[in-house]
Chains A and B, each alone.
Chain A
Amino acid sequence: MELTAGSRWKSAVSETEIVVVRPGRGDHRLGCGGADMVPLGADGSDGGVDPALADPTLLGKRYEDEASGLEVLCSKGGDGTLTLDGRPLVVKSAKPLPSSD
């Protein structure tokens, strides 16, 4: 999958949408709810969310895969755990950032 920075993907089996913030090293398969994500605008599948990968993905949260360095931002919340090659992505901690705004 061409997980380039800024590319947008949606879950094939739920409402979830993400945007790639930081592409990871190497070629990987990004999934949500047990099915590969599809480019935004493409058709989904008729399948449902895999009950084993059914955690909700939350709007505005950042998810990362430490091994590859991939980071995505959830731009539309929905069902289904985000995965990279089947490994669940980890939500990035909402530590207070030193903002001046």
Chain B
Amino acid sequence: MDLNLLLTMAVSLDEDRVAVTGPDGRSLTTGQLQAAAAGAATLLGQASGTRVAFCDANGLAFPVTLFGSVSARLPFVPLNYRLADTQLGQIVSDDDASVASTEQAERLGRLGVRRILDAEGFVDAALGAAPAADETAIDLDDVAILLYTSGTTAAPKAVELRHRHLAAYVIGTVEFGSAGSDEAALLSVPPYHIAGVMNLLSNLYMGRRVVYLDNFDPELWLRVVREQSITHAMVVPTMLARIVAVLGDTPAAVPSLRTISYGGARMPTAVIETALRLFPDVAFANAYGLTETSSTVAVLGPDDHRLALDSKDPAVRARLGSAGLPLPGIEIEIRDEEGLPCSPGVGGDIYVRGEQVAGEDDGAGGTAGGWFATRDRGHVDEAGYVFVEGRADDTIIRGGENIAPDEIEDVLLAHDEVADCAVVGIDDAEWGQRIAAAVVLVPGAASAPEDIRSFVREQLRGSKTPDLVVVFDELPYTDTGKLLRRVVRDEITRSSV
């Protein structure tokens, strides 16, 4: 199945079903989305770029541009409009792309983009254009979507997602036409995030309306859930933390809401525990995945969440912090430094294999036998639950000892006066790396950096005690909630020289 066929099947099922609703409340049925995609293909063909980029916030122009690109047989490239000029410039300068954008049009022009299409007017322009009629079959090996990784540890990298990868995920995880007619999914993840792309495809296939939020705000999110009778919502952990914060102690009054899925970054245990209490009737799902794996490869389902919350067994309770079990058709293996499989409970590098996994032929991440090196570290428990500990690149090597930042961060977060923290390795002539902790203190905190070091030393070995504790006003995160460790590292390095 290619993405064109996915849309055609959704139209065949019910052409009058509302497929997508924009932030302004305007909707398109599956039939209208198909008509707009066919018109968009004509406009994109006239623009004659070799790729089609989208550089705006969520809205109806996103699905129309995506399916228009598919129809025009051009790779679709969602761009992060929040990137700085230098990064965005690097991406668009070596790219002969047409770019759909309204908010960023002026800036993109300045960065040298020659083909800019007005995203705001694109839906109407596409509906008014003569449909392109390309009847040739789509090769499943063709790149459907070119997506840049968020680049928390290195420069953003382009990942080629082919039709076969995306189709394998959709067919393997959702049943066609299985959604009830009242179901609606609220999407507040930005359009350049893999979860946002795949959520659109899954929901279209299962027959569930997608409602777009353009800019996340917790009050707005709660209001839209009520006004649009949202049944399913997807958020990143920072969004859930903000929603929980505005609710205070009052359970959320969102009777239509059945599930909240989250992923994309580490979820603080306190946030998910509070969320489970404030949304007592909502089922939670935690998804683990990467851009290179066409989003989710492991899910901690609703039952596991409640079971873990209520359990007295520490092993079961710990699963609240896990990514759950691999999806059907996905294999996950933990490997040690020699490349051999680790026993349950032993940490190592996470490898993934399955039909939805792209990058299997990528020199950097691909390995023999179709296994993809995620560059995440983690372990699997006795029952097969996957625990993700962090990026391999974040591992600190101090005097030859490998130290996972998250172990120290967990201890720091248990300190009453530490609101947030990040542990990074700083280059050091003697030790190779030294451990530095950036901490954000709660208002009115009295602890000095030395007190915090002592607190950690009481619980961990001396070699795991931060050599340096630096107080930050706040830590740098991407808008999808990923901690920018390299920025923390640079700031500490600069300030300690």
Bound-state Cα–Cα, A68 to B198, Å: 30
Select which of B176, B177, B296 is within 8 A of A100 by beta carbon: B296
- List chain B residues, Cβ under 8 A from A5: 140, 164
Interface residues of B in 160-184 (CB under 8 A from A): 163-164, 171-178
Are B1 and A99 neighbours in the complex by a CB distance under 8 Å?
no
Are B9 and A60 neighbours in the complex by a CB distance under 8 Å?
yes
- Given A61-B176, A94-B178, A101-B202, A75 contacting B164 (CB threshold 8 A): no
Select which of B175, B199, B234 is within 8 A of A94 by beta carbon: B175
Q: Count B-side interface residues using an 8 Å CB cutoff.
A: 41
Are B176 and A60 neighbours in the complex by a CB distance under 8 Å?
yes
Are B8 and A75 neighbours in the complex by a CB distance under 8 Å?
yes
Bound-state Cα–Cα, A12 to B436, Å: 69
- Given A21-B1, A21-B171, A59-B176, A100 contacting B287 (CB threshold 8 A): yes
- List chain A residues, Cβ under 8 A from B287: 100
Number of A-B contacts (CB under 8 A): 81
Select which of B5, B9, B176, B299 is within 8 A of A98 by beta carbon: B299
Interface residues of A in 20-50 (CB under 8 A from B): 21, 40
Bound-state Cα–Cα, A19 to B387, Å: 36
Closest residue of B by beta carbon distance from A4: B140
- Given A60-B176, A94-B178, A100 contacting B299 (CB threshold 8 A): yes
- Given A5-B140, A73-B1, A75-B8, A97 contacting B176 (CB threshold 8 A): no
Bound-state Cα–Cα, A59 to B177, Å: 9
Are A101 and B12 neighbours in the complex by a CB distance under 8 Å?
no
Q: B230 to nearest A CB, angstroms? A: 14
Interface size class of A (residues with CB under 8 A): 20 to 34
Are B234 and A76 neighbours in the complex by a CB distance under 8 Å?
no
- List chain A residues, Cβ under 8 A from B291: none
Bound-state Cα–Cα, A6 to B320, Å: 39
The verdict on A8 contacting chain B, using a C-beta distance below 8 Å, is: yes
Closest residue of B by beta carbon distance from A100: B287
The verdict on A10 contacting chain B, using a C-beta distance below 8 Å, is: no
Closest residue of A by beta carbon distance from B185: A101
Interface of B is mostly: mixed
Are B202 and A99 neighbours in the complex by a CB distance under 8 Å?
yes
Are A76 and B12 neighbours in the complex by a CB distance under 8 Å?
yes
- Given A59-B9, A98-B327, A100-B287, A6 contacting B174 (CB threshold 8 A): no
Are A97 and B1 neighbours in the complex by a CB distance under 8 Å?
no
The verdict on B263 contacting chain A, using a C-beta distance below 8 Å, is: yes
The verdict on B268 contacting chain A, using a C-beta distance below 8 Å, is: no
Q: A71 to nearest B CB, angstroms? A: 9
Closest residue of A by beta carbon distance from B10: A60
- List chain B residues, Cβ under 8 A from A97: 172-175, 327-328
The verdict on B285 contacting chain A, using a C-beta distance below 8 Å, is: yes
Bound-state Cα–Cα, A42 to B199, Å: 35
- Given A8-B137, A98-B301, A59 contacting B13 (CB threshold 8 A): yes
- List chain B residues, Cβ under 8 A from A96: 175
Closest residue of B by beta carbon distance from A92: B175
- List chain A residues, Cβ under 8 A from B185: 101
Bound-state Cα–Cα, A99 to B296, Å: 8
- Given A62-B171, A97-B172, A19 contacting B1 (CB threshold 8 A): yes
Closest residue of A by beta carbon distance from B263: A100
Complex interface bits, B294-305 against A, C-beta within 8 A gives 1, otherwise 0: 011001010000
The verdict on B261 contacting chain A, using a C-beta distance below 8 Å, is: yes
- List chain B residues, Cβ under 8 A from A98: 173, 285, 299, 301, 324-325, 327-328
- List chain B residues, Cβ under 8 A from A94: 175, 178
Q: B295 to nearest A CB, angstroms? A: 8
The verdict on B56 contacting chain A, using a C-beta distance below 8 Å, is: no
- List chain B residues, Cβ under 8 A from A19: 1, 5
- List chain B residues, Cβ under 8 A from A40: 137
Most B CB contacts (10 A, CB to CB) among A19, A40, A76, A98 go to A98
Are A99 and B9 neighbours in the complex by a CB distance under 8 Å?
no
Are B198 and A101 neighbours in the complex by a CB distance under 8 Å?
yes
Q: B16 to nearest A CB, angstroms? A: 16
Bound-state Cα–Cα, A6 to B167, Å: 10
Most B CB contacts (10 A, CB to CB) among A8, A21, A99, A100 go to A100
Bound-state Cα–Cα, A60 to B263, Å: 28
Bound-state Cα–Cα, A60 to B171, Å: 9
- List chain B residues, Cβ under 8 A from A59: 9, 12-13, 176-177
Bound-state Cα–Cα, A92 to B176, Å: 12
Residues of A participating in the B interface, judged by any CB pair closer than 8 Å: 5-6, 8, 19, 21, 40, 59-62, 73, 75-77, 94, 96-101
In the A-B complex, the 9 residue pairs with the smallest Cβ-Cβ separation, listed nearest first, are A60-B176, A100-B287, A101-B202, A6-B140, A100-B261, A98-B299, A99-B173, A100-B296, A94-B175
Given contacts A60-B177, A73-B176, A100-B299, 7 further A-B contacts (CB under 8 A): A6-B1, A6-B163, A40-B137, A61-B176, A98-B285, A99-B173, A101-B234
19 A-B pairs with CB atoms under 8 Å apart are A5-B140, A6-B139, A59-B176, A59-B177, A60-B9, A60-B13, A73-B1, A97-B175, A97-B328, A98-B327, A99-B173, A99-B285, A99-B299, A100-B287, A100-B299, A101-B185, A101-B199, A101-B202, A101-B234
